[in-house]
Structure 1
């Protein structure tokens, strides 16, 4: 008998509608969560709404509000959004405005843990263990079992509030050494109880959080998780362990998709972004004595990495080979060629951040001309703009700065 080659699997059109859990997006492009720096007193501002409306009008399938803390001590700044009854009217106004432009909208929910700012919050930052955080020049407090139970429940509560506020999805923050991610890291987690030691124990908090959200929201909205593939530091959470945790999350049925990320906001923040580290701009944005510290030793923490398109794809392929659940490829997604490559390799969605800060209408322009190239030069100076309203510094602040709390 003559053997025939089986037909290749159909490659989805990245600009065509797609299902994410129970939600249909108008395309497979997600505006990734980038802290906007535009909330005030943990509430939505008109500037924050304008930010997301701009990206919705620009053509993305879904935009992500970053980030909404589930507890007051879990904020990286006291200005940051928090799930309270007082925040609901503003959040509803935001989701209505995004929906009016034809896009879906997700809320990134989480607890910053050791990345939180205890001086701004006037509450201790929580971590697996007590340690000194150089950026805030303060010590974290080891989270108790009661703390962890409270925080798990708070994630579920955030999910139900997201439904009430009109969100189409929630993205659970399991990356960048925020609280759940710090528990995954053997470098940061030295506990001797059921939350430390083995990978199963270190993954307990992440799995409990995801399960609490699923139990709270069911299938009424989509649930994704921003999930570290590796921390980018010796002794940290690494790819071999992240593959296993991804498989556990899939078995649990608690999330509809994983957005694959990397790096530690505590120990190696530039590992996610790639490109030049804007040391001078970071120093200028910081108060003293942190400004002096950045100038003196910033190169030890803020490393520069060569940039290339789809720079997380190599590691993400290994997660793709290990699970069947939908995956969202992040990192260096700049043009349709890269998006099509992601689709051809089995990724269901792509997430963009810096390229859309540079050109919020990039997806509309790409739909009109598939050869359109992003103007983002990956200088990373937008990272330092979060303190007064995130924007591309090459185009200037397109939105008014929100009042400082």
Structure 2
């Protein structure tokens, strides 16, 4: 049995254990730069015992953000990111930068830059049609990933996680529903996977063997006509054969069309309606029930899908979704997964892993209410936890 708490190798990186803090946008960068609050957030996670904490969201371009408050990778961001990685390292953990382009999930009105999509789509966020890049513009997008990876290395990160999920730009290219192109980036599965493979290649070229390179890949979009599991398996096999990645983190769902497939548990429709601006709030009240579907919560709820990837692939895999106890971690290890990723449970209890290590019967206090989801606009947090520095006092409803 693999020991979850023993040191583990992730590409060129040795982690102190096999637990990764999953990327969850922290909502602590009002000027698109690192703040003391963001540093404190990751310090607390690192001191809580994880092997690797992931900073989200480090956009590859200003127009690649879900709104203008997110960090985008540029020289001005490096000093703050270096302060953050120094603090994480001092706490004994490693740091990963999630790099990506939000594509159709980007808010063009907020960013004051066009949102990109593989085909012509209307954006309810920006209230305008998205820009469809031609092949020369796609080449610039790819080059931006290489630049972001180099800046991540300059900032002291130990790893980069390339976002290939949730119908962000690369995921949208993978989707037969969203990608209706007829050029070399559309049509067949191989053409739709071309962008992901080219990005993985240039990121590896940019960082060599100095940083670990992870990709977060959708196993399925959860939308009729979108990327499904058999085709995602083909994409994963191509990525493995290319050899540019050190691990795949397996995810699911669409931030554009079906976000709850990733989260499971309660759907916080009322809480989301409260924080959205006026027009969006009314629109959400009309479509919220269909948009935020409910999937019953259970431990390791993505495991059934992920098992199929484990059977087909030899490369390291990271299991995400409902990892909150030592029993579930042991199950993941026994089934051949190399790492596990935790998100919401660490929002509720950043020291959960240390407490599990001290007492293997420790249970998470997270109740999967998902009321943390709307807090991305005011500082991502568990609303049931009141002792969080740098965030407003929370109340429950």
What is the TM-score of this pair, normalised by structure 1?
Answer: 0.95
Q: Secondary structure of 1:106's partner?
A: strand
- 2:184 is matched with 194
- For the residues of structure 1 that align with 2:387 and 2:137, how far apart are their CA atoms? 39
C-alpha displacement of 1:162: 1.0
- For the residues of structure 1 that align with 2:286 and 2:103, how far apart are their CA atoms? 27
- 2:66 is matched with 76
Query: CA offsets, 1:110-153, max 9 Å, x none?
Result: 00001001001101100001111224433211122122101111
- For the residues of structure 2 that align with 1:173 and 1:399, how far apart are their CA atoms? 29
Q: Secondary structure of 2:278's partner?
A: coil
- For the residues of structure 1 that align with 2:134 and 2:20, how far apart are their CA atoms? 36
Aligned pair partner of 1:203 in 188, 193, 197: 193
- For the residues of structure 1 that align with 2:25 and 2:82, how far apart are their CA atoms? 19
Q: How many residues align?
A: 392
- For the residues of structure 1 that align with 2:391 and 2:119, how far apart are their CA atoms? 37
8 A Cα contact 1:389 1:397, kept in partner: no
Q: Secondary structure of 2:70's partner?
A: coil
Aligned pair partner of 1:248 in 225, 238, 249: 238
- For the residues of structure 2 that align with 1:377 and 1:351, how far apart are their CA atoms? 18
1:255-274 → structure 2 map (5 Å cutoff): 255-274=245-264
Which range moves more in the overlay, 139-148 or 70-79?
Answer: 139-148
Q: Structure 2 vs 1, CA of residues 383 and 20 (structure 1 numbering), >3 Å: closer, same or farther?
A: same
- 2:120 is matched with 130
* CA-atom RMSD in angstroms: 1.0
Aligned pair partner of 2:335 in 332, 336, 345: 345
- For the residues of structure 2 that align with 1:47 and 1:81, how far apart are their CA atoms? 14
8 A Cα contact 1:385 1:391, kept in partner: yes
Asked if 1:183 corresponds to 2:196, the answer is no
- For the residues of structure 2 that align with 1:189 and 1:330, how far apart are their CA atoms? 26
- For the residues of structure 1 that align with 2:309 and 2:157, how far apart are their CA atoms? 28
- 1:34 is matched with 24
Aligned pair partner of 1:328 in 318, 322, 325: 318
- For the residues of structure 1 that align with 2:62 and 2:102, how far apart are their CA atoms? 10
- 2:298 is matched with 308
- For the residues of structure 1 that align with 2:296 and 2:264, how far apart are their CA atoms? 6
Aligned pair partner of 1:317 in 307, 319, 326: 307
- 2:88 is matched with 98
- For the residues of structure 2 that align with 1:135 and 1:15, how far apart are their CA atoms? 42
Query: CA offsets, 1:41-62, max 9 Å, x none?
Result: 2210000000000000000001
C-alpha displacement of 1:163: 1.0
Which range moves more in the overlay, 351-360 or 156-165?
Answer: 156-165
Q: Secondary structure of 1:126's partner?
A: coil
- 1:275 is matched with 265
C-alpha displacement of 1:156: 0.9
- 2:282 is matched with 292
Which range moves more in the overlay, 141-150 or 105-114?
Answer: 141-150
8 A Cα contact 1:391 1:397, kept in partner: no
1:135-174 → structure 2 map (5 Å cutoff): 135-174=125-164
Q: Secondary structure of 1:200's partner?
A: helix
- 1:67 is matched with 57
- For the residues of structure 1 that align with 2:124 and 2:168, how far apart are their CA atoms? 15
Structure 1: which 4+ aligned runs deviate by more than 6 Å?
A: none
| Gap regions ≥5 residues in structure 2 | 393-397
C-alpha displacement of 1:300: 1.3
Query: CA offsets, 1:14-52, max 9 Å, x none?
Result: 111100000000000000000001013221000000000
Q: Secondary structure of 1:246's partner?
A: helix
- For the residues of structure 1 that align with 2:337 and 2:101, how far apart are their CA atoms? 27
Q: Secondary structure of 2:56's partner?
A: strand
